[in-house]
Chain A
């Protein structure tokens, strides 16, 4: 019985280690910079900043959990912003439903990714989504002529900079991100689709033999990942009150870093929504805290690199640990 408790404790540390580390980081900054870091204004600021990365990382988690990756999320995010802005300018759509355009564009891009991965039999999702990274960025520039479009409709701005009064004032983008984590996290944890996502990531052959439809799972994963990139585009457009063709350059790498810091295995089958939430929040809080402590952006980049190595190092140690537990 005692051994079982120890095992359970290990399992919790294993799954939610990043949540624990996040709390330690918050505590550290709270001690170092107590006056501003813990203020409500800074909380809102961090929440607003974090929401785009939070949502991109959630999509990336789905891809990584199937032992894949989606490199196109940054480009797809900017393409969906631009298309949404063009639809707004076209004036054919009621302004209140313009926000739906961005996630739809993202969903379409994601489905194209999924279909390409399944039917072209490209050796790894890396290839297909790398192609989409270039294609979506090119399309963004072609459609916008390389020029930002500013002045978003009220409904779009609400998603990026609105606030809800829930006892305290909470930024709408943070609420949206949180809701997305509840939904996708629930799907991963409790549904058939979720189980099959982890199965495909753990062993594609095993999943195939068990009768899992690999194509269905991958189409769902990349479709959702694209849709979430579009949702992130909606929030970014709302926050900046504009759609700009350079949005999200390099954002896919931040998203991958967040997922890895959240303890997901890059080889698939492992990773969960709460830990990814903590991973994405940690990157944002780190940047915020270091800004407040007057550490330059250049050092911030170095430190985030170090954290990624630390997180993967932990993953390797955890692997050894599990094998040890197995033969105890």
Chain B
């Protein structure tokens, strides 16, 4: 493997984030390569989601820098991050229940007829439908009717739709927040397979999860967060569950 030769896609440097008296992220620095699956683990409230919501533009950091392909960037919305090729799939899937599958996939990234842009651009529904069907079949869910509303779907189907949403624009980095938490064993297998597909297509993936088995199965590197701080970076093929857990709960220092 020529892992180390691969270019870094994004660097986070010295990120801090507070919510009132609570420090969610403390001085976190992190780099992610193309074609790499980076696991992000930690106990509840360790700051995993906050850190990644900063990278996806939903939250603004109190201080720290984000560098995408050697350029400093500042995100004021999820749309800004997406224009830099970064998209996030949320734990609760982030879908709008009353909208159809097709509308959910293209919400905030609508395809518009001709050159007419802006807010009153006319939706190109047939192109959106074509690309939705293609994306759904790529993730193995071609059975989903794109005209059904999201509230009519099962958990696995919703997850598939939110993954398609991130895929249709061909992103460089996908952040997946607990993508396997609510799925059946069979569906988990499908999602892990998809993560591997993304890696071989040279996409960077951040995989946030509580389920260490899934993390160990698919991640190249594993970053451990504890109380907002990055406490360890482990090589996915050399570590094991108990080492990761020890870092998560701080038993490493206790033993030393």
Q: How far is the CA of A196 from the CA of B118 in the complex (A)?
A: 12
Contact partners of A208 in chain B: CB under 8 A: 58, 78
Q: Is B121 an interface residue (CB 8 A)?
A: yes
A220 & B119 in contact (Cβ 8 Å cutoff): yes
Secondary structure of the A contact surface, majority rule: helix
Q: Is A210 an interface residue (CB 8 A)?
A: yes
Q: How far is the CA of A192 from the CA of B158 in the complex (A)?
A: 22
Q: Is B182 an interface residue (CB 8 A)?
A: no
B120 & A198 in contact (Cβ 8 Å cutoff): no
Interface residues of B in 89-132 (CB under 8 A from A): 90, 94-99, 103-104, 107-110, 112, 118-123
Residue B119 contacts which of A193, A199, A326 (CB distance < 8 angstroms)?
A193
B152 & A209 in contact (Cβ 8 Å cutoff): no
Interface residues of A (CB under 8 A from B): 187, 190-193, 195-196, 198-199, 201-203, 205-213, 216, 220, 269-270, 322, 325-326
Q: A322-B151, A326-B152 are in contact. Are A192 and B123 (CB under 8 A)?
A: yes
B94 & A209 in contact (Cβ 8 Å cutoff): yes
Min distance, Cβ A291 to any Cβ of chain B, angstroms: 38
Q: A209-B90, A210-B165, A213-B77 are in contact. Are A326 and B151 (CB under 8 A)?
A: yes
A-B contact pairs, 17 of them (CB 8 A): A187-B120, A191-B120, A191-B122, A192-B110, A192-B112, A192-B120, A195-B107, A196-B119, A198-B99, A199-B99, A203-B96, A206-B95, A206-B97, A207-B108, A209-B90, A210-B107, A211-B79
Q: How far is the CA of A227 from the CA of B149 in the complex (A)?
A: 32
Contact partners of B82 in chain A: CB under 8 A: 211
The 9 closest A-B pairs by CB, nearest first: A211-B108, A211-B79, A209-B94, A269-B98, A202-B98, A210-B108, A211-B78, A326-B152, A202-B96
Q: How far is the CA of A209 from the CA of B56 in the complex (A)?
A: 9
Contact partners of B120 in chain A: CB under 8 A: 187, 191-193
A195 & B94 in contact (Cβ 8 Å cutoff): no
Q: A207-B108, A325-B152, A326-B152 are in contact. Are A216 and B119 (CB under 8 A)?
A: yes
Min distance, Cβ A6 to any Cβ of chain B, angstroms: 14
Question: Of all chain A residues, which has the CB nearest B93?
Answer: A206
Q: How far is the CA of A209 from the CA of B94 in the complex (A)?
A: 6
B97 & A209 in contact (Cβ 8 Å cutoff): no
Q: How far is the CA of A202 from the CA of B100 in the complex (A)?
A: 11
Name which of A192, A202, A205, A326 has the most chain B CB atoms within 10 A of its CB: A192
Name which of B77, B99, B165 has the most chain A CB atoms within 10 A of its CB: B99
Contact partners of A326 in chain B: CB under 8 A: 151-152
Secondary structure of the B contact surface, majority rule: loop
Contact partners of A202 in chain B: CB under 8 A: 96-99
A203 & B95 in contact (Cβ 8 Å cutoff): yes
Min distance, Cβ A107 to any Cβ of chain B, angstroms: 16
Q: How far is the CA of A216 from the CA of B58 in the complex (A)?
A: 16
Min distance, Cβ B236 to any Cβ of chain A, angstroms: 28
Contact partners of A203 in chain B: CB under 8 A: 95-98
Q: A190-B122, A191-B119, A191-B121 are in contact. Are A207 and B98 (CB under 8 A)?
A: no
Min distance, Cβ A14 to any Cβ of chain B, angstroms: 11
Contact partners of A198 in chain B: CB under 8 A: 96, 98-99, 103
Min distance, Cβ A21 to any Cβ of chain B, angstroms: 22
Besides A195-B107, A206-B94, A326-B152, 14 new A-B residue pairs in contact (Cβ under 8 A), listed by A number = A187-B120, A191-B121, A192-B123, A195-B103, A199-B107, A202-B97, A202-B98, A206-B95, A206-B96, A206-B107, A210-B78, A210-B108, A211-B79, A211-B109
Question: Of all chain B residues, which has the CB nearest A191?
Answer: B120
Min distance, Cβ B200 to any Cβ of chain A, angstroms: 27
Q: Is B68 an interface residue (CB 8 A)?
A: no
Question: Of all chain A residues, which has the CB nearest B83?
Answer: A211
Q: How far is the CA of A210 from the CA of B81 in the complex (A)?
A: 11
Q: How far is the CA of A322 from the CA of B99 in the complex (A)?
A: 13
Q: Is B88 an interface residue (CB 8 A)?
A: yes
Q: How far is the CA of A208 from the CA of B121 in the complex (A)?
A: 20
Q: How far is the CA of A220 from the CA of B118 in the complex (A)?
A: 13
Min distance, Cβ A239 to any Cβ of chain B, angstroms: 31
Min distance, Cβ B210 to any Cβ of chain A, angstroms: 20
Contact partners of B103 in chain A: CB under 8 A: 195, 198-199
Contact partners of B97 in chain A: CB under 8 A: 202-203, 206, 269
A212 & B119 in contact (Cβ 8 Å cutoff): no
Q: How far is the CA of A207 from the CA of B98 in the complex (A)?
A: 12
Min distance, Cβ A13 to any Cβ of chain B, angstroms: 16
Min distance, Cβ B158 to any Cβ of chain A, angstroms: 11
Q: How far is the CA of A304 from the CA of B95 in the complex (A)?
A: 36
Min distance, Cβ A258 to any Cβ of chain B, angstroms: 21
Min distance, Cβ B18 to any Cβ of chain A, angstroms: 19
Question: Of all chain B residues, which has the CB nearest A327?
Answer: B152
Min distance, Cβ A88 to any Cβ of chain B, angstroms: 32
Min distance, Cβ B226 to any Cβ of chain A, angstroms: 26
A209 & B58 in contact (Cβ 8 Å cutoff): yes
